[in-house]
Structure 1
């Protein structure tokens, strides 16, 4: 059922659970777009399949695939998931790209534990102002279609433009965003900061919104929050960091740190902030990478030597694990450091490194291609399983 844009979850008592709350499953989209994944998509699909294989060990996996690719995709996905392939649900659906976090629904949970989706308007990260491709109609239709496919009611939030990667939630009334993204001219230019904040509170059932100044340097999404800072527990975050004052990321992260140190969350807690260092050596596009892309007219293009928005904060919680980006090459030590840092913080989950440079070449990372579907769990059951 489409609940329309006159109804908000907050009026129904619904709110967004944290990503580290219990999942029913994860939504992903098979990589096909040659402007993101290249004419040879082997590396990207290998990375996606590794993520599939980890998710299905502890929750359901939903993968959207175009009709043309469905037979090939099914074979590769089932092979990757092996003994857990019964947890795989492949759904035929046309999309423009594979950023499930941004085009899929954001899910909220009601007082009785039931789940609903939110269908934000998607305009390719900036529409006519600075959008990354010329046509995005298929992507904008994904959220509603997916909710219909899994028989979940959906709130229509159009024409409010938002991507899932631009919000992080602690599950206790706090939402975290970046000013650089949500106040960008290509999203909701007719709304004030206060009006945007109220929309977030209305749709997500939030009590407080934290506005970080910046995201990751050269992030083409206008600096999504999920690439720079993430909740790891109520009152606790990791922040992408560098000690290199010559790196443009230094001032951006410093401003974020100063802001986070100055605020409290929705429950009045001062935040515990962990520094999660970015790769010591910037990850850049090679000529070989550029030669593999096939860009459409109006699509944002890359150049040799272009710095990519590499960050370990773009990890994903499954029910039992934390899937962490790894960039390899000269950054092997940086990769290990990130795993060690998150292992100390996320003690109730196994931290699993995922080689993900091929995903980064598409423009995002592990968190960007995944979208959690919360379990329809009552408050009493959540207490029993120690999620509260």
Structure 2
């Protein structure tokens, strides 16, 4: 594997928007038994549903921890899903996997960031911290190594220079305690090829593990346009989501408020399940549902936001109980060719 020197932006690389063409989607099979507990089988079933749904639109690669997990996954996955074996600790590949960048000629490279299990919350994490580089090598791409900790779910880009994140997550002392906000801004620009970093305040109060990942509250739908979580007065997220809206509008974004947040019960616990933790694939948006009344309206609102895509709902309340949704468990690999803007 070729390791490239210098930050990606200096070499002309940028992170594409999620709606730009993909070669495939990367996922990992649930394996942290001490976290999932009695919900492990249900989590595997919902991961399989997400993978099989995506595989109808583009290839999927599923990372499995060992031979037993590979056989387990193979029994649940369609023939369009390729299984590879690598040592992993957990199954949130959006955060532990690589982020891919491209240059103007369509050449692709992977960026391998540091990973410490969301601020050292889950031990061990050393295998997850290494898997990103292994996946870049599998794809035959060159690699940039970034000198700071960053999780893919903590940011989203619009493909036209803007990156959206939250202060709650990226300024957590458990991630990069020696870096200031200004220094992190420069590192994001240098390693993802963006020209503007827009800082929201906080994520969902129900986000108990990731310290306010932005992919639970926001998604770009086009350059400069963002679908943003909004909550009514009385909801514990009302003040923070209202402030996020003010910050986004002040930064010049066109904000489309998304007022729905599912609250299903899993394992006897009411949880907050974000509809905005969807993943965009070639020709489709795969949206988490929970079997609650708001599902239909949520799918209709997301369909209106992405009129060129088919919107497909998949049950994901157990994944939400575990800490995320379809976006958190996937990582897109952009096509290694020039793509026209959306």
Q: TM-score, normalised by structure 1?
A: 0.84
Aligned residues: 340
Q: Match of 1:90? A: 83
Counterpart in the other structure of 1:50: 49
Contact 1:169 1:176 in 2 (8 A): yes
* Alignment partners' CA distance in 2, 1:143 and 1:234: 28
Distance 1:185 1:283 in 2: 32
Partner in structure 2 of residue 155 of structure 1 = 144
The structure with the larger Rg is 1
Structure 1 contact 278–310 (Cα < 8 Å) conserved: no
Deviations 1:130-181 (A, max 9, x none): x2x12100100010011111211111113x0100000101111111100000
Residue 273 of structure 2 corresponds to residue 310 of structure 1: yes
Instruction: Give the aligned partner of residue 235 of structure 1.
Output: 224
Report 1:247-266 matches (<5 A): 247-264=235-252
5+ residue gaps, structure 1, are 265-270, 288-304
SS in 2 for 1:351: strand
Q: Secondary structure at the match of 1:231?
A: strand
- Asked whether the 8 Å contact 1:308–1:363 carries over to 2, the reply is no
- In structure 2, what is the equivalent of residue 60 of structure 1? 59
Name 2:116's counterpart in structure 1: 123
Kept after mapping to 1: 8 A contact 2:14/2:102: yes
Give structure 1 regions of 4+ aligned residues with deviation exceeding 6 angstroms. none
- Output the CA distance in 2 between the equivalents of 1:285 and 1:364: 13
Report the CA distance between 1:284 and its aligned residue: 4.8
User: Is the Cα contact below 8 Å between 1:36 and 1:363 reproduced in 2?
Assistant: no
Shift of 1:40: 5.1
Partner of 2:17: 18
How far off is 1:2 after superposition?
4.6
Alpha-carbon distance in 1 for matches of 2:39, 2:143: 36
Partner SS, residue 293 of structure 2: helix
Please provide the CA RMSD for this pair.
1.5
Distance 2:72 2:266 in 1: 28
Aligned match for 1:352, one of 273, 290, 312: 312
Task: Give the structure 2 partner of residue 173 of structure 1.
Answer: 161
Say which SS state the counterpart of residue 294 (structure 2) adopts. Answer: helix
Offset, 1:51: 1.2
Question: Which residue among 246, 252, 263 is the counterpart of 2:234?
Answer: 246
Q: Is the deviation greater in 176-185 or in 319-328?
A: 319-328
Q: Indicate if the aligned counterparts of 1:36 and 1:361 stay in contact, CA closer than 8 A.
A: no
Q: Which residue of 2 aligns with 1:109?
A: 102
SS in 1 for 2:215: helix
| Alpha-carbon distance, 1:62 to partner | 0.6
The Cα of 1:249 is off from its aligned counterpart by 0.5
1:203 CA displacement: 0.2
Q: TM-score, normalised by structure 2?
A: 0.95
Q: What secondary structure, in the 3-state scheme, does the structure 1 residue paired with 2:16 have? A: coil
The one-character-per-residue Cα deviations of 1:200-249 (angstroms, maximum 9, x if unpaired) are 00000110000001111131200000001110111111111122x11111
Find the residue that maps to 1:314 and give its secondary structure.
coil
**Secondary structure in structure 2 of the residue aligned to 1:372:** strand
Tell me how far 1:111 sits from its aligned partner. 1.9
- Report if the CA contact (8 A) 2:45-2:76 is conserved: no
Is 2:19 aligned against 1:31? no
Mapped to 2, the partners of 1:209 and 1:202 lie a distance apart of 11
Helix, strand or coil at the partner of 2:117: coil
Alpha-carbon contact 1:277-1:312 (below 8 Å) kept: no
2:123 to 134, 151, 167: 134
Query: Which of the numbers 269, 276, 282 marks the counterpart of 1:319?
Result: 282
* Aligned-pair CA distance for 1:35: 2.9
Residues 201, 262 of structure 1: alpha-carbon distance in 2 compared, 3 angstrom cutoff? same
Q: Do the aligned partners of 1:17 and 1:170 also contact (CA within 8 Å) in 2?
A: yes
Instruction: Give the distance between the partners of 2:228 and 2:236, measured in 1 at CA.
Output: 15
Any idea what SS the aligned residue of 1:368 has? coil
Secondary structure at 1:172's aligned position in 2? Answer: coil
Take 1:143 and 1:273, find their aligned partners in 2: how far apart are those partners? Answer: 33
**Residue 3 (structure 1) aligns with:** 3
Q: What secondary structure does 1:365 align onto?
A: coil
Q: Mean Cα displacement is larger for which, 32-41 or 137-146?
A: 32-41
